[in-house]
Every structure is written in structure tokens, then in C-alpha cells.
Amino acid sequence: MEVAIGYRTSASAVLVSRDRIQKEHLLDNYDFEFISEFDECEVVLAAGKTVNFLENQKVDVIFGPTCNRPGLAASALATYYNIPIFEWGLTTSKDLTDSSRFPTTVPFSVNLYSLALAIRATMKQFEWSQFVYMYSNDGDEEKGESLKDDVQEVVSIYGEITFAYTYQMSSKSLDDMRTAVKAVKQKGRVIVTCVAASENGSKKTVMQATALEKNALYP
């Protein structure tokens, strides 16, 4: 997670944006103060630091948090204080796009509900009637669960495909993935997989795990 959304790889973008604004004279006569905090993708930390921003620091705008559950907590607080909040990074929850619930929230990331709709469209395109879902929370405690919930919602709304089976892998290791593939292939031939990215290459590991089981399809 540090590689994707850590301070070292994202903080410089703030200064680049500030320099661009000043160069193009977009907000002349405005002084900028940037305050950074780290919520570690923990809901309690995110809520507490958001209250500090809003109540004590009196900020004008918030960028973050970068994870779903902290994002929902921060957005609720920002709505109460009527302060704009821009969610980015791994905030892929569909709930953050509900403008009636969070009118001051602007999510930058593509939400997982859109991905769930894409899975449905792929199933229909190839005339597949059912699929199974395997995922791991190793490296990201939210994405696999959130995508599962959104896929289930899409299936229940449209009713054209069947969500046949779910399998949670204990880790992203090759052995665990092979065990998962052997288990889910008994339930269906179309397998949707969700694992967090890693420096070792999660996609490559998935491909290695599925190479032994060629009688299934892995969208």
C-alpha cells in the first residue's frame, strides 16, 4: 500500500499542483497551508484526525483518506461541517458517490460497483450464466470484500447471472492460490479473482496458480 499511496510517492504532487496554480495565476492573493496526517487506513484514526482538521485546524478542504471505511467516516464528518472532501487512492466504495448522503464528497477513483457492472457485461457478452469468486484480504482488507458486496448487489438487481460460490484465500501465496483454484473449480468454470497488487506480482502468481487448472476461465 505504501508503494501505491504512501507519502513519499504522493506528497510531491501537492507541491507540483501548487506551483502550477501559482504559475498560471489561478488563485492569486491566496496563501496555501498544507497539513498532513496519517490514518494508516484505520477508521478510528481517520475519524479522529478528520475532527481535528475540521474543529481545531479549521481547514477549508480535505484530500483523503485513501481507504474505503476511513473515507466513509471522514465524508460523514465533512458533510456535517459542510467542507469539501476529495477522496482518492483506494476509495472505491459506491457509497461515496451517493451525493444525497455525502454532498460535499468528490471521489477520484473508479468505484467497484462500476467494475461489478463490467463483470456482468462480460458474462452477458460471452453468454456465461454463472461464476464463482475467489479473493484475498492479504495486502488490502477492503477491496475483496467490497467487490464481493457490489457484485452481489448487481446480481440481485439484474438477476441474469448466478453468483454460485465464494472462496476467501488466506494469503496471496502460490500454494494458497492453487488450493483456492482446486476448490472453486468444483463449483464453476468461470472464476472471478480479486487480490491486492504486490511487489512480487500478484497477477503473475494468479497466472501460475491457474496454469495447472486449464478447464476453467479466469476473467
pLDDT tens figures, 1-26 = 444 566 666 677 788 888 898 899 99
Average model confidence (pLDDT) across the chain:
83
Distance CA 48, CA 66 (A): 15
pLDDT digits (tens, 9 = 90+) for 112-148: 888 899 999 999 999 998 999 988 887 777 788 888 9
pLDDT reported for residue 68 = 86
Written as one string, the DSSP assignment of 185-216 is TTT-SBEEEE----TT-HHHHHHHHHTT-TTS
Please tell me the predicted confidence (pLDDT) of residue 3.
45
The whole-angstrom separation of Cα 36 and Cα 63 is 10
Distance CA 92, CA 108 (A): 9
Judge if 2-107 and 112-210 fold alike in CATH terms: yes
pLDDT at residue 90, rounded to an integer: 79
Q: What residue segments make up the domains of the chain, in order of their start?
A: 2-107, 112-210
Q: Which architecture, in CATH terms, is 2-107?
A: 3-Layer(aba) Sandwich (3.40)
Q: How confident is the model at residue 218 (pLDDT cuts 50, 70, 90)?
A: very low
181-197 average pLDDT score? 83
H or E segment at 146?
helix 143-158
Taking alpha carbons only, the member of 83, 142, 155 closest to residue 116 is 155
d(CA 94, CA 143): 12
Report pLDDT for 82.
96
Q: Looking at domain 112-210, what is its CATH homologous superfamily?
A: Response regulator (3.40.50.2300)
Res 44 pLDDT > 90: yes
Give me 58's grid cell. 479549521
Per-residue DSSP letter, 104: T
Task: Decide if 92 contacts 143 (C-beta within 8 A).
Answer: yes
CA 159 remoteness from chain centre: 25
Q: Does 158 or 200 have the greater pLDDT score?
A: 158
C-alpha of 87 from chain center: 11
- pTM recorded for the entire structure: 0.65
Q: Phi/psi class of residue 30: alpha, beta or left (left: φ > 0; alpha: ψ in -120 to 50)?
A: beta
Within 10 A of 179 (CB to CB), how many other CB atoms are there? 15
Q: Taking the CB of residue 155, how many other CB atoms lie within 10 A of it?
A: 19
- pLDDT on residue 47: 94
Average pLDDT rounded to a whole number, residues 50-63: 94
Mean pLDDT value of segment 152-167: 89
What mean pLDDT do residues 170-183 have? Answer: 81
- Tens of pLDDT, residues 59-101: 999 998 888 889 999 999 999 999 999 988 878 888 888 889 9
pLDDT over 70 percentage in the chain: 84
- How would residue 111 be classed by pLDDT, with cut points 50, 70 and 90? confident
